[in-house]
Structure 1
Amino acid sequence: MSSGTRPAGTGRLVTGTAWALLFLGLWLGGGGTDEGPLGSSAPTTGDIAAVGRPPGAELPPARAPLAPVAPRRVEVPSLGVDAPVVPRGLDSAGAIDPPPFEEPDTVGWFGSGTKPGAAGAALFVGHVDTETRPAVFYGLSAARPGAKVLVTRTDGSVAEFTVDDVQVFPREEFDATKVYGPREPGRAELRLITCGGTFDRATGAYTANVVVSAYLTG
């Protein structure tokens, strides 16, 4: 993971093919810095790795998208997550710049992308751990379909999302379009992303990403 020293919202907005290439470089693991000694942080095999959507799971219907408003806070009650959200841009390598390591309990939102509640997929990223303790998204791989994600927006409204999918993508199987593209056209969706797999001290990075997908239901 990058050091996160650039100001919030910096970087460039890219689209089309460049958008996919951007996310091929999105790895929220150590990145040769000071994160990741706690070891395995998530299921480690397969692209659904003991999570995903149980057969026949009953999920609520999607509701129509809301007006686009920036996020201020995110909660996942079933995981004990209750964290501030800050806008982030791109780092020098063209990947989303996560919150600084000095802010392990803060979630970053890709501020040049979709606002949570609006049509499209809003992207939230967070650290899984630090050198000494778990960080904001340490328990993300334990999320299950049907769990609620509440996003408080800057106008005071709260967008309620329901988790419908939890996947673990190894580096060699990472598919930017599959991970970050909307699952259903016109639907308001949310992605919560962190490191997964095991920490490789030789490369200073985790071996996979945990991706929780949710959609607007209230």
Structure 2
Amino acid sequence: MSEVRTGGSARLLTRTAWLTLILALWLLGNGVAKEPIATAPKTGDVAAAGRPPAHSLPPAHEPLPGAGPQRLVIKAMGVRAPIEGHGLDSLGGVEPPPYERPNSVAWYQDGPEPGSSGAAVLVGHVDTKQSPAVFYELSNIKRGEKVDVVRADGSVAEFTVESVTVVANKHFDVDKVYGSPYGKRAELRLITCGGDYDHARHTYTANVVVSAYLTGVGAAPPGSGTRGNGRGGGSGNGNSGDGGDGRSSDESSDTSGADA
């Protein structure tokens, strides 16, 4: 992965191609859980983690103007997490949230903003040595459930879950998972580790991938933490009671799955 850097010819890539390349390399080099506290969602090659309900999904909303994400709210999971804007680490991969903030979510800030055209990417830990983390229940979310992103302009991008899949690392198709088959539709990807934990390699064997699309827009309630500062992420100070284990960045970058 040493050939991937942010300068030179890399800047000539389109945003979509660049995001695809970075995420592919990150999946190979930036898993984070050293020892799971529990078994994460299991997998075959590509297995649906939730079955679609009988009702149809709502129509897509037109993309919104760009605005940085501040907070992720998933009522079905009891999640209300600050969002941090992250770029690339020293290895050329997407920098995940540190273990000291296991209840924070990292947004790939060089890609689309949630609510704008394209597939925005949010990643988070599934667990640490000591406690469940922000995306511990991600594999249990169902098709049709709602995901909200509070944005810096005071709006709330309202997404509807379209699919939940558990993808084995060895069969991960970057174009299929991160591509947007619907043109300029505003989409969202939520990603964490899944499958079994490989103790020999210190990594999970799969990735949980939730795909959602924009179906509405609302106003952030008072006290939601919006700051109106454009592209910047949220406060990044985690939630109270975080169970981070204080592992170093070296310890968190020696695995091959997605962010756990």
Give the partner amino acid of 1:104.
Answer: P
- Decide which moves more: 34-43 or 75-84: 34-43
1:35 alignment partner in structure 2: 34
Q: Number of aligned pairs?
A: 207
Residues 83 and 11 (structure 1), Cα distance of their counterparts in 2 relative to 1, 3 Å cut: farther
Contact 1:30 1:205 in 2 (8 A): no
Whole-angstrom distance in 2 between the partners of 1:139 and 1:188: 24
- Decide which moves more: 175-184 or 111-120: 175-184
Residue of structure 1 aligned with 2:184, choices 160, 183, 186: 186
Q: CA deviation at 1:181?
A: 1.3
1:209 alignment partner in structure 2: 207
Whole-angstrom distance in 2 between the partners of 1:196 and 1:186: 29
Contact 1:25 1:93 in 2 (8 A): no
Q: CA deviation at 1:37?
A: 2.2
SS of 2:47's partner is coil
- Decide which moves more: 87-96 or 189-198: 87-96
Q: CA deviation at 1:64?
A: 0.5
Give the partner amino acid of 2:22.
Answer: L
* Cα shift readout 1:153-186 (whole Å, capped 9, x = no counterpart): 0111111000001011101100111111113101
Whole-angstrom distance in 1 between the partners of 2:110 and 2:54: 36
Map 1:37-186 → 2, pairs under 5 A = 37-51=36-50, 54=52, 57-186=55-184
2:23 alignment partner in structure 1: 23
- Decide which moves more: 155-164 or 16-25: 16-25
Q: CA deviation at 1:198?
A: 1.4
Q: CA deviation at 1:38?
A: 1.9
Contact 1:104 1:127 in 2 (8 A): yes
Whole-angstrom distance in 2 between the partners of 1:72 and 1:42: 28
Whole-angstrom distance in 1 between the partners of 2:29 and 2:34: 7
Contact 1:27 1:195 in 2 (8 A): no
1:6 alignment partner in structure 2: none
1:7 alignment partner in structure 2: none
TM-score by length of 2: 0.73
Residues 48 and 202 (structure 1), Cα distance of their counterparts in 2 relative to 1, 3 Å cut: same
Query: Which is greater in Rg?
Result: 2
Residues 37 and 160 (structure 1), Cα distance of their counterparts in 2 relative to 1, 3 Å cut: same
Question: Gapped runs of 5+ residues in structure 1?
Answer: 1-9
Q: CA deviation at 1:46?
A: 3.0
Whole-angstrom distance in 2 between the partners of 1:138 and 1:30: 18
Whole-angstrom distance in 1 between the partners of 2:75 and 2:150: 13
- Decide which moves more: 101-110 or 89-98: 89-98
1:4 alignment partner in structure 2: none
Whole-angstrom distance in 1 between the partners of 2:152 and 2:123: 18
Whole-angstrom distance in 1 between the partners of 2:88 and 2:41: 26
